[in-house]
Amino acid sequence: MPNIQIEVLNISADEVSAVFYYDVPVNNQLTGAVDNTRTQPGTRLDAAGVTGLQAGTVHFLVVSRNVVGKTPAQIAAMLQSEYTAASSIALADYQNKYTNRQHLGKAYNGTTWS
């Protein structure tokens, strides 16, 4: 599990942008998600979280939401609620992004793919 689940990336009087971090279940991890150059969208992941992000065992979603008229407590509660709601789509988003990437670098020798 990443050391954090939600990180606020930017906030103004009108909008908040945040990143949600999720673990990818072992049986759903894809080789196409491995990218040793991947960087975190924020700054708060610890070394293990960044390693997980690069290894494809941690996935993230970035969201932006309207916060006009909301207090800091309401914004925090909204982000926590959105994090829980988005967890149901996080795995599908991961699979959509990386399913085809697992074929990068493969070659065909006239008989088989390797």
The domain segmentation of the chain, as residue ranges, is 6-103
Residue 38: half-sphere exposure toward Cβ, Cα within 13 Å = 21
User: Could you tell me which residue, 110 or 53, shows the higher pLDDT?
Assistant: 53
pTM: 0.84
- Helix H or strand E segment including 58: strand 58-66
pLDDT one-digit tens code per residue, 57-112: 999 999 999 999 999 999 999 999 999 999 889 999 999 888 877 777 778 888 88
CA distances from 99 to 40, 51, 87 (A): 20, 20, 19
